[in-house]
Amino acid sequence: MDQPAPKLDVTALLAEVERNVQEKKAQGFYDPAEIRKVEAAAVDFDLAVQDMATAQLEALRGELNLLWNPLEWGVTTHRAGLKGRLVLGLKKLIFKLTRFPLSVWLARQVRFNDELLKTINILIPQHLAHQRYIPQTDPRLDALEDLARTQAQRLRDLDRRLAELAAGHQSRLGALERETSQGRNQTEALLARLERIVADQARAGVVGAEAVAAVASARTASRGSAYLAFEDLHRGSREEIMARQGVYLPHFRAAARPETPVLDLGCGRGEFLEACRAAGIPARGVDLNPAMVAACRERGLEVAEGDALEHLRGLPEASLGGILMAQVIEHLTTDQLTELISLCAAKLAPGGALIAETINPQCLLTFAGAFYLDLTHNKPIHPEATRFLWQWAGLEKVEVLYLSPVPPDFRLERIEGTEAGINAIFNRNVQRLNDLLYSHLDYAVVGRKPA
């Protein structure tokens, strides 16, 4: 018995042919120019088919408009002579007798025909207009697509290469940082050992005090670079510090003159000196850290390198229009602090202001952060202790400014509503805790020399 012929899957066959053509195009088997000619011919054929469809739609619309009313077909006959006239008269009689019932019976069909024709008269023109404006395939688009694919691949290759370079640089940077850290540690160890050796030789009379001072200065410079890096990491940006210290500028305007400038003791990176320069207030600074001094001088600021006490001892009496000590006094011993304040009062011109900013020990949050973060801090100083020292030195109009409030998100939350009974007690306790834990991180004491 004959087996039936297998059914031919035309769709699968065409798909296989298309895959073979695409593979050969990718392998460069076909000439690109010939491919574009074939594709352009296909586009022309598609346009011809569209034009034929357009003509058919127009003809169909015209025919529908002619035949839309089935009751207007009239009465005619193909017969001639007397017989034809008799047939025609009979048809007219029948037409007159049936016109009314037919118009009633076919009214629904007439209405349907009418609505359908209206719809077709709207849709076909819109379809034809849409066909005119559909953008057709341009052979040049293939070239643009090829170029886009090539550029995309190049970008992917470039991204991969950049990622490889970044990974390599990161690895080398990490190795360099490790080598630098090891070098700093070795330098500190060598300087400490050299300082001990020179001290021993000085006690034995082999070297003089100048050698001891030179080694101590070199070790101080090495530590100064480390402390500058520490401030850059933890103190805050220059813009933040300038904005915070800008509150002191009004206190110095009255007495600051070119002959009696403001002195910033422990000026650090020089943010306050920059603020004074921007405000037109004469100011200069002094700092023990050579790295800090070098950074300030690079910015065109007038800064001397040296100890604050020694610097003040060398100044004439009443030669300063104001003195600022920002985050300085917590580094000093009690003897250094009392001498420093006494010297400041002596060097101030009449009307000059002495301001010291320091960490606020009345806010216990500072002990979980800023105070013990800095290894060079000696001890915190209570605001009332500084107020007493300012008044003891003969300064007047002494006031304490509380600064750097803790953000509200840190504070304990109160119970909102009726302030009575247990709620009132709870809220009072919350306020006490907030005042103790989350008040102000810093304070400044301000005093003025009598005029």
pLDDT mean over 82-93? 72
pLDDT mean over 102-122? 65
**Looking at the predicted structure, is the pLDDT value of residue 318 above 90?**
yes
> What percentage of the chain carries pLDDT values higher than 90?
30
Q: Is the model's pTM score more than 0.75? A: no
**Looking at the predicted structure, is the pLDDT value of residue 259 above 90?**
yes
pLDDT mean over 379-399? 94
Under the banding of pLDDT at 50, 70 and 90, the label for residue 118 is: low
Structure tokens at 406: 């803790």
DSSP E strand boundaries for 360-438: 396-405
Structure tokens at 441: 């991180």
Q: CA 69, CA 84: separation in Å to the nearest integer?
A: 27
For the stretch 162-220, pLDDT in tens is 777 777 767 666 666 565 555 555 666 665 666 677 677 777 776 677 766 666 666 56
Long-range contacts of 278-287 (CB under 8 A, 24+ apart): 279/249, 281/249, 281/252, 281/253, 281/256, 282/256, 282/257, 282/258, 282/321, 283/252, 283/256, 286/311
Give the number of other CB atoms < 10 A from CB of residue 179.
10
pLDDT mean over 337-354? 94
Q: CA 246, CA 86: separation in Å to the nearest integer?
A: 120
Give the pLDDT of residue 185.
Answer: 55
Give the pLDDT of residue 252.
Answer: 95
Give the pLDDT of residue 242.
Answer: 87
Q: CA 18, CA 251: separation in Å to the nearest integer?
A: 86
Q: CA 325, CA 304: separation in Å to the nearest integer?
A: 15
With beta carbons less than 8 A apart as the criterion, state whether 351 and 448 touch. Answer: yes
**Looking at the predicted structure, is the pLDDT value of residue 138 above 70?**
no
Parse the chain into domains and list their residue ranges: 22-139, 147-207, 222-448
* 3 vs 381, more confident: 381
Give the pLDDT of residue 52.
Answer: 59
* Lowest mean per-residue pLDDT among 79-88, 312-321, 345-354: 79-88
CATH topology for 222-448? Rossmann fold (3.40.50)
Give the pLDDT of residue 208.
Answer: 74
pLDDT mean over 43-67? 59
* 49 vs 84, more confident: 84
**Looking at the predicted structure, is the pLDDT value of residue 45 above 50?**
no
Give the pLDDT of residue 280.
Answer: 94
With beta carbons less than 8 A apart as the criterion, state whether 287 and 266 touch. Answer: yes
What pairs with residue 403 in β-bridges?
442
Give the pLDDT of residue 388.
Answer: 95
